[in-house]
């Protein structure tokens, strides 16, 4: 009898330990699942040699509950590349579409998809801040056709809600928080005007405390504005301004202190090659690359092909999807 009692006690302890272990595993598995971080898809599109070797800016971001966010979207010729991901990740629905500025290499794909009668996408929210259209007509001749096209397409029935963003605005999207750091400034009329109208924003996966800063084509005057609030700039990842050529100043990158640098550039631009070989051109891309090396950061290069990067608590990982 005593022996049987000891056996029962032994098995009771085993069962109790097993139950505790299973509950502990489930709890920690749920914590791990909740801390999914941020999944960033860099769409290479026309940056690749076989697709034209042109500069564009196109990203998709997914939240921990699979809301789909698009940033810019790229050139008109990038529309099909982008659409494939929109169908794959959102079945045609985009929860938030952020536009840094209305130049064709940033909004061309969005305009193309909106204008296609047979393209059944639905954009729940478009987030932007532009100058008035007549400002672009006066100060940005080069970009005006694209800017006018964007203004017209924003009236499409495919767009459900328009959010004209304001400085310091916070937009919460599941585990991702977007902070609007800088908006278009109509007083800037003597810089690279359409580029210096870029909206700057930071998206942070609050569950893993990792962020990516989107600079669009921000330029010198934007740099001056950003450096007035340097504490807002620190970010694990950054979309390099103006495709990693002429863009924000080194002082801005010094405050960002990036670990991941996304270059939306074809190889000739990344190498500053105007046809005469490496570093033969007028662009600052090689200088910017030196800055990245100084920070010990990793470069993510569009001309190498599409990539899915997940920001995690430990840092980042490349996902094979």
User: How far is residue 130's CA from residue 151's CA, in Å, rounded to a whole number?
Assistant: 9
Is 29 a member of any domain?
no
Query: What are the phi and psi torsion angles at 306 (to 5°)?
Result: -60, 145
- What are the CA-CA distances from residue 229 to residues 106, 223, 232 (Å)? 26, 10, 6
CATH number at residue 238: 3.60.15.10
- Give a yes or no: residue 14 inside a domain: no
For 209-271, give the DSSP string.
TEEEEE-TT--HHHHHHHTTSGGGT--SEEE-GGGGSS-S-HHHHHHH--SEEEE---HHHHT
**For residue 267, is it within any domain?**
yes
DSSP single-letter state for residue 135: H
Beta bridge partners of 311: 38, 316
Domain tally for the chain?
1
Of 180, 217, 17, 208, nearest to 102 by C-alpha is 217
Has residue 276 been placed in a domain?
yes
Residue 240 covered by a domain: yes
Model confidence, pTM: 0.89
- Residue 5 maps to a domain: no
Positions of E strands within the chain: 38-42, 58-62, 68-72, 93-94, 96-98, 122-128, 159-164, 170-173, 176-182, 200-205, 210-214, 237-239, 260-263, 298-301, 307-311, 316-319
Q: Which of 304, 309, 273, 293 is nearest to 59 (CA)?
A: 309
Dig out the tokens for 7 from the structure.
């056996």
Q: Percent of the chain having pLDDT more than 70?
A: 89
One pLDDT digit (tens) per residue for the chain, 321 residues: 565 555 656 555 666 565 455 454 444 444 444 578 999 999 999 999 999 999 999 999 999 999 999 999 999 999 999 999 999 999 999 999 999 999 999 999 999 999 999 999 999 999 999 999 999 999 999 999 999 999 999 999 999 999 999 999 999 999 999 999 999 999 999 877 789 999 999 999 999 999 999 999 999 999 999 999 999 999 999 999 999 998 999 999 999 999 999 999 999 999 999 999 999 999 999 999 999 999 999 999 999 999 999 999 999 999 987
The position carrying tokens 């962020």 is: 211
Using CB atoms within 10 Å of the CB of residue 243, give its burial: 0 to 12 exposed, 13 to 18 middle, 19+ buried.
Answer: buried
Residue 297's domain comprises 37-319
Query: Is position 221 within any domain?
Result: yes
Q: Please tell me whether residue 49 adopts helix, strand or coil conformation.
A: helix
The answer as to whether 220 is a domain residue is yes
CA dihedral 271, 274, 280, 286 (to 10 degrees): -30
Task: Identify whether the C-beta of residue 311 lies closer than 8 Å to the C-beta of residue 206.
Answer: no
């Amino acid at each position: 009898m005593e022996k049987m009692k000891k056996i029962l006690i032994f098995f009771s302890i085993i069962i109790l330990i097993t139950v505790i272990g299973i509950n502990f595993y489930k709890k920690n598995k749920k914590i791990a699942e909740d801390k999914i971080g941020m999944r960033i898809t860099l769409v290479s599109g026309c940056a690749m040699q076989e697709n034209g070797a042109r500069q564009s800016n196109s990203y998709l971001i997914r939240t921990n509950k699979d809301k789909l966010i698009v940033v810019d979207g790229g050139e008109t010729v990038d529309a099909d590349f982008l659409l494939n991901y929109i169908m794959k990740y959102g079945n045609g629905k985009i929860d938030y579409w952020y536009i840094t500025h209305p130049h064709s290499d940033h909004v061309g794909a969005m305009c193309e998809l909106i204008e296609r009668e047979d393209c059944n996408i639905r954009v729940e929210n478009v987030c932007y801040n532009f100058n008035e259209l007549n400002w672009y007509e006066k100060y940005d001749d080069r970009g005006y056709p694209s800017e006018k096209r964007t203004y017209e397409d924003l009236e499409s029935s495919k767009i459900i809600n328009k959010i004209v963003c304001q400085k310091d605005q916070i937009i919460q999207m599941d585990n991702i928080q977007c902070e609007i750091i800088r908006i278009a400034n109509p007083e800037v009329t003597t810089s690279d005007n359409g580029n210096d109208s870029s909206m700057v924003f930071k998206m942070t996966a609050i569950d893993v405390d990792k962020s990516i800063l989107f600079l669009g084509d921000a330029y010198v005057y934007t740099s001056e504005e950003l450096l007035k609030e340097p504490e807002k700039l620190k970010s694990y990842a950054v979309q390099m301004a103006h495709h990693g050529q002429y863009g924000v100043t080194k002082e801005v990158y010094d405050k960002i202190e990036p670990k991941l640098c996304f270059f939306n550039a074809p190889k000739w631009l990344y190498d500053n090659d105007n046809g005469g070989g490496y570093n033969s051109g007028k662009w600052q891309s090689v200088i910017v690359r030196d800055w990245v090396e100084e920070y010990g950061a990793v470069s993510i290069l569009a001309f190498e092909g599409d990539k899915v990067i997940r920001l995690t608590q430990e840092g980042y990982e490349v996902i094979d999807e």
